[in-house]
Amino acid sequence: MTIISSTREVPVTSAIPQHVAIIMDGNGRWASKRLLPRTAGHAKGVQSVRRAVETCGRLGVRHLTLFAFSSENWRRPAEEVTLLMRLFVQALEREVARLEDQGVRMHVVGDLSAFEPRLQELILQAQAQTAHNDKLHLTIAANYGGRWDILQATRKMLIAEPELAANPLSIDESQLEKYLSMSWAPEPDLFIRTGGEQRISNFLIWQMAYSELYFTDCYWPDFGEAELLQAFEWYRVRERRFGRTSAQLHAKSAS
């Protein structure tokens, strides 16, 4: 797939977003409202992940990227971090066969070196086992941060192409983009954050320059097919100008 950069070219868009990126927020509050431990919200959140994968696959979305654990989430209580890691391991052990059946290719991006060896091994296995699929690319961002991504890309670029250091003015966006951790995917068309907060929280900060940003109060465990379709409907009528004027867009669609 040829990657179109929104800052260099105007991407072709479609009614259904090709790449959907989600911050799955509100698990803790969903649980607290029911007098349950926060971790129960994360466990319930796994069901919403399953539903989102199924709905995106059915509607023809090509890339679904989920923020499962940010580089800042290590600051949470130790027992919550442990449960999140356990859920991640369980999901990898139990769900990969289902992903296979659905034609889903799985990727995990982030600094995986901080994870226990068993988790790292399962991630590599899941990626290898689904590598031949191409219907829907499911990317889990784990121990991921947008600033980390830009930094690691810069380091990789300078290691691979040391001559650039002597000629920094020759570096353009496309050179750095090759080393970003999701370099295979187009930029997200639609970003969704559940749970009521209106922040990007160090997610795909390079790639979301022209993404449409959708915020909903719905907590992630309650985010089902109807809520996803509502977000898609909101997206469908957005005017994606990519820097152009509205008049230019209308003139183009009339011609």
The residues annotated with a catalytic role in the active site are 25, 73
Residue 200 Cα distances to 27, 82, 117, 168, 177, angstroms: 17, 25, 30, 29, 20
According to the binding rule CB under 6 A, does residue 140 interact with ligand FPP?
yes
- For residue 190, the SS3 value is strand
Q: How far is the CB of 105 from ligand FPP (least distance, A)?
A: 15
E-strand stretches of 71-202: 104-109, 136-144, 190-193
136 phi, psi to nearest 5 deg: -135, 130
Give the Cα-Cα-Cα angle 131, 22, 145 (nearest 5 degrees). 80
Tokens of 154: 């810069």
Any contact of residue 27 with ligand FPP (CB under 6 A)?
A: yes
49 binds ligand FPP (CB under 6 A): yes
Of 4-12, 44-52, 102-110, 125-133, the segment contacting ligand FPP by CB under 6 A is 44-52
Q: Map residues 197-226 to x or -, x wherever contact with ligand FPP holds by CB under 6 A.
A: -----------------------x------
Does 145 bind ligand FPP (CB under 6 A)? Our answer is: no
Judged by CB under 6 A, the chain residues 79 through 108 that form the site for ligand FPP are 84, 87-88, 91
Is the torsion defined by CA of 244, 246, 251, 254 positive or negative? positive
Q: Which is nearer to ligand FPP, 3 or 89 (CB)?
A: 89
| Interface residues toward ligand FPP, by CB under 6 A | 24-29, 42, 45-46, 49, 66, 68, 73, 84, 87-88, 91, 140, 195, 220
